[in-house]
């Protein structure tokens, strides 16, 4: 049996697009909140394979999505490289900062990450055995630029200002951090594939704050290196790239990097993306996640509009960003029915 997501990633236009959601395992689901409480804290949930596998499986049981995405966090990689990582309730992640050559030199080499990340690979092995046979297992990592923005600032920032400042003041140190993250990301995703994931996705959540040559150097170049290395190690591996808020730079991104699919945020219209991005292959996206909070007829009509816009080529239905904690689980089912109905 051919899995629908793999067919779309191979360039097939399907009568009904396969569907999954970014952050589909998460706080909008009561069963997730119960498991999270059992874990005690977020990092324990990430590093306890049985619990991480359970929350990955919950939306598959409830909705029958065509793919499951490994439950983890993009900041586990910097932690594996030696950065301190903790989560502040209600505020999100905090990291020790890397802003100097000495700080960069103190990080571990890329090949040292597997000691810390072994539980993540065990989660993948559990899922590879437990998922329904028709469901594709997606692994992921944060893209080097996005992960670097957290490592430089020590937290998420609205404009990625600290990373931009370091890039301007000491480009060599910043480039060194990007290079280390690129090598570590190759090793991390490769280990996920060896454990059983069938597709990998690269999340560049803050790509949209890069301009001109910086976009080429820090969004496109690392993606190209990662994808080429993964495909050399794992021939035929499909890769989804998500340079969020890239705008016009979505055009040609697949060709430039070797990605099999470009995921799109909802700041671009599906109609524009069909004309400018889908011509190079599979696209994923791009429903506004806010519609899963508000629901109603607009959710149904917008879902159908996205499906219609991308119906002329390979498409994986998804949101323009992760589902939010305020989303109504019933609205997710309405969206799925609108895609499949």
Could you tell me how many helices (H) and strands (E) the chain has, helices first?
A: 17, 9
The beta-strand segments (E) located in 178-279 are 199-204, 239-243, 261-263
Residue 334 near residue 299, CB atoms below 8 Å = yes
Q: How far is CA 81 from the centre of its chain?
A: 20
Tokens at residue 217, please?
């150097």
pLDDT tens readout for residues 270-327: 999 999 999 999 999 999 999 999 999 999 999 999 999 999 999 999 999 999 999 9
Which one of 23, 225, 244, 334 is the catalytic residue? 23
Predicted confidence band of residue 170 (pLDDT cuts 50, 70, 90): very high
Which one of 32, 47, 63, 150 is the catalytic residue? 150
Tokens at residue 169, please?
């003041």
176: enclosing H helix or E strand: helix 171-195
pLDDT tens readout for residues 89-114: 888 999 999 999 999 999 999 999 99
What is the pTM (predicted TM-score) of this model? 0.98
Instruction: Tell how strand 136-142 and strand 199-204 pair up.
Output: parallel
Q: How far apart are CA 153 and CA 322, in angstroms?
A: 22
Residue 185 near residue 226, CB atoms below 8 Å = yes
Q: Three-class SS string for 74-127?
A: CCHHHHHCCCCEEEECCCEEEECCCCCHHHHHCCCCHHHHHHHHHHHHHHHHHH
β-bridge partners, 43: none
Q: What is the pLDDT of residue 153?
A: 98
Q: From residue 44, give the alpha-carbon distance in Å to each of 7, 29, 50, 86, 131.
A: 35, 19, 11, 11, 22
Instruction: Tell how strand 136-142 and strand 92-95 pair up.
Output: unpaired
Which one of 62, 73, 125, 214 is the catalytic residue? 73
Question: Looking at residues 170-192, what average pLDDT do you find?
Answer: 98
Q: Is residue 225 pLDDT above 90, yes or no?
A: yes
DSSP string, 112-172: GGHHHHHHHHHHHHHHHHHS-TTSEEEEEEE-HHHHHHHHHHSS--SS-HHHHHHHHH-HH
Q: How far apart are CA 79 and CA 96, in angstroms?
A: 9
Q: What is the pLDDT of residue 65?
A: 98
3-state secondary structure (DSSP) of residue 268: coil
Which one of 32, 36, 204, 288 is the catalytic residue? 36
Asked if 27 is an active-site residue, the reply is yes
Tokens at residue 23, please?
């952050």
Asked if 23 is an active-site residue, the reply is yes
Asked if 62 is an active-site residue, the reply is no
Which one of 27, 33, 125, 233 is the catalytic residue? 27
Q: Is residue 221 pLDDT above 80, yes or no?
A: yes
Query: What domains, with CATH codes, occur in the chain?
Result: 10-263 (3.20.20.210)
Q: What is the pLDDT of residue 89?
A: 84
Q: How far is CA 275 from the centre of its chain?
A: 24
How many Cα atoms are found within 13 Å in the side-chain-facing hemisphere of 64? 7
Q: Is residue 1 pLDDT above 80, yes or no?
A: no
Closest CA to 210 of 175, 245, 238: 245
Mean model confidence pLDDT for the chain: 98
Residue 218 phi, psi (nearest 5): -115, -15
Predicted confidence band of residue 68 (pLDDT cuts 50, 70, 90): very high
Q: How far apart are CA 296 and CA 238, in angstroms?
A: 35
């Amino acid at each position: 049996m051919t899995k629908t997501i793999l067919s779309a990633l191979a360039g097939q236009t399907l009568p009904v697009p396969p569907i999954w959601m970014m952050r589909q395992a998460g706080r909008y689901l009561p069963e997730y909140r119960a498991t999270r409480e059992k874990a005690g804290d977020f990092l324990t949930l990430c590093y306890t394979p049985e619990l991480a596998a359970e929350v990955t499986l919950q939306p598959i049981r409830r909705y029958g999505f065509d793919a499951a995405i490994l439950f983890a966090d993009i900041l586990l990689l910097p932690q594996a490289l030696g950065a301190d990582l903790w989560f502040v309730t209600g505020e999100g992640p905090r990291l020790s900062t890397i802003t100097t050559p000495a700080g960069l030199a103190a990080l571990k080499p890329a090949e040292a990450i597997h000691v810390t990340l072994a539980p993540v690979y065990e989660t993948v092995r559990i899922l590879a055995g437990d998922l329904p046979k028709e469901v594709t297992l997606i692994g992921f990592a944060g893209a080097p630029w996005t992960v670097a923005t957290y490592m430089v600032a020590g937290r998420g920032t609205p404009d990625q200002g600290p990373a931009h400042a370091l890039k301007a003041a000491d480009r060599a140190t910043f480039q060194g951090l990007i290079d280390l993250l690129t090598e570590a990301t190759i090793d991390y995703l490769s280990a996920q594939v060896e454990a059983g994931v069938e597709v990998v996705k690269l999340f560049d959540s803050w790509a949209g704050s890069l301009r001109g040559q910086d976009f080429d150097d820090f969004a496109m170049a690392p993606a190209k290196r990662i994808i080429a290395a993964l495909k050399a190690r794992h021939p035929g591996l499909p890769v989804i790239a998500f340079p969020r808020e890239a705008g016009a730079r979505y055009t040609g991104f697949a060709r430039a990097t070797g990605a099999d699919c470009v995921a799109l945020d909802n700041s671009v219209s599906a109609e524009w993306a069909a004309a400018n991005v889908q011509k190079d292959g599979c696209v994923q996206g791009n429903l506004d996640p806010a519609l899963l909070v508000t629901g109603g007829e607009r959710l149904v009509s917008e879902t159908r509009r996205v499906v219609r816009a991308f119906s002329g080529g390979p498409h994986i239905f998804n949101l323009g960003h992760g589902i939010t904690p305020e989303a109504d689980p019933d609205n997710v089912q309405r969206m799925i029915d609108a895609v499949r109905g």
